């Protein structure tokens, strides 16, 4: 996925199984949203805890209740994200609502240690003055939107599920036209993607893009579009002889 690595937020990772999976890395804007939700949740929990402890303070003694509140504040400050991210979902409630999760750069689930490192260093990312300036700078400077804690722990924040692509009514191909020349894998992929995404664009935009490949199609304008479509159709529908030997 050479083109994807350059242009896209997709990160290719090769597994031991010999297959390449693609992680969709999440950018800072969405993560700020998740953080805001988490902050609100923490605020609500702390308010509830103070009310609850204020009542139970009558039984426990005010100072014990106050001590418990201090402890709760400490735990919420440092351990709230840590515990949730090390858990089964790999995400704080805020991240879950927004649809994000934290994984290792290899795509496998977070270990407790990584969650710890990532969230202890949150304090540095939060500087200067809790603006998350350093974290933001690091996010924007790294290929995988990693804040400093992510870099040290070797983690990335990804979209939990791939967005469901709308099934677009791309113009149906008239015929399958063989490719006139051999293309590299990336070029072929671009051709196929052109066909798939054609439904997203206006007719004028389609032609504009197809004109970039007029050397391949040998035509421009509407004729070029339909010729590229036909070639993409040929690439996707051509018979693979190996299929008949493979038994499932």
Partner 1 sequence: MSVGDFEHKNQQRWAEYERLVDGLEKGRPGPEAGQLPRRFRELCVDLSLAEYRMYGERLTAQLNAQVIRGYELIYRNRRGGWEQVAEFVAVGFPQAVRREWRLFCLCNAVFWLPFLAVMISAGHDIQWVQAILGADGMASMDQMYGGKEDQIAHLRAEYGSNFMMFGHYIRNNVGIDFRIFAGGMAAGVGTLFFLFFNGLFMGAAAGYVNHACNPETFWTFVSGHAALELLGMVVAGMAGMRLGLALLRPGRLPRVRALSEAAKQALPLIIGAALLTTLAAAVEGFWSAQLLPSALKYGVGFAGWGLLLAYFTLAGRRAGHAP
Q: What residues line the site for partner 1 (CB under 8 A)?
A: 15, 17-23, 60-71, 73-74, 77-78, 88, 90, 103, 107-109, 111-113, 116-117, 120-124, 148, 151-154, 161-162, 165, 167, 188-189, 192-193, 196-197, 235-237, 239-240, 243, 248
Burial class (CB in 10 A: 0-12, 13-18, 19+), 148: buried
**107 torsion bin: left (phi>0), alpha (psi -120 to 50), beta (else):** left
Q: Which is nearer to partner 1, 121 or 210 (CB)?
A: 121
Question: How near is the Cβ of 218 to partner 1 at its closest, in Å?
Answer: 22
Question: How near is the Cβ of 16 to partner 1 at its closest, in Å?
Answer: 9
> Residue 156's beta-bridge partner residues?
103
Collapse the DSSP code of 143 into the 3-class scheme (helix H, G, I; strand E, B; otherwise coil) and give the result: coil
Query: What is the DSSP code (8-state) at residue 109?
Result: B
Chain position carrying tokens 């051509």: 238
What helix, strand, coil percent values describe the chain, rounded to 5? Answer: 60, 10, 30
Question: How near is the Cβ of 243 to partner 1 at its closest, in Å?
Answer: 5
In this structure, the number of other CB atoms found within 10 A of the CB of residue 91 comes to 23
Q: Which is nearer to partner 1, 37 or 124 (CB)?
A: 124
Q: Which is nearer to partner 1, 121 or 228 (CB)?
A: 121
Q: Which is nearer to partner 1, 49 or 223 (CB)?
A: 49
Q: Which is nearer to partner 1, 204 or 245 (CB)?
A: 245
Question: How near is the Cβ of 123 to partner 1 at its closest, in Å?
Answer: 4
Q: Which is nearer to partner 1, 123 or 201 (CB)?
A: 123
Question: How near is the Cβ of 104 to partner 1 at its closest, in Å?
Answer: 9
Collapse the DSSP code of 36 into the 3-class scheme (helix H, G, I; strand E, B; otherwise coil) and give the result: helix
Question: How near is the Cβ of 22 to partner 1 at its closest, in Å?
Answer: 5
Query: What is the DSSP code (8-state) at residue 18?
Result: S
Collapse the DSSP code of 176 into the 3-class scheme (helix H, G, I; strand E, B; otherwise coil) and give the result: coil
């Amino acid at each position: 996925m050479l083109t994807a690595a350059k242009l896209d937020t997709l990160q290719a990772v090769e597994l031991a199984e010999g297959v390449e999976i693609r992680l969709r890395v999440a950018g800072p804007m969405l993560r700020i949203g998740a953080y805001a939700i988490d902050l609100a949740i923490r605020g609500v929990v702390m308010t509830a805890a103070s009310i609850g402890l204020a009542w139970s303070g009558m039984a426990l003694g005010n100072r014990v209740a106050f001590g418990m509140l201090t402890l709760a504040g400490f735990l919420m400050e440092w351990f709230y994200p840590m515990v949730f991210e090390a858990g089964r979902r790999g995400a704080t409630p805020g991240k879950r609502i927004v649809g994000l999760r934290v994984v290792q750069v290899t795509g496998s689930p977070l270990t407790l240690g990584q969650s710890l490192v990532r969230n202890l260093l949150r304090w540095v990312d939060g500087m200067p003055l809790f603006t998350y300036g350093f974290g933001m700078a690091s996010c924007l400077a790294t290929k995988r939107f990693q804040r400093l804690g992510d870099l040290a722990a070797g983690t990335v924040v990804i979209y939990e599920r791939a967005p469901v692509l709308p099934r677009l009514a791309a113009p149906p191909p008239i015929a399958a036209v063989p490719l006139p020349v051999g293309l590299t894998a990336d070029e072929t992929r671009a051709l196929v993607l052109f066909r798939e995404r054609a439904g997203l664009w206006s007719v004028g935009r389609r032609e504009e893009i197809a004109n970039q490949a007029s050397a391949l199609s040998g035509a421009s304008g509407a004729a070029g579009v339909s010729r590229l479509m036909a070639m993409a159709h040929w690439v996707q529908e051509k018979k693979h002889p190996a299929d008949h030997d493979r038994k499932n």
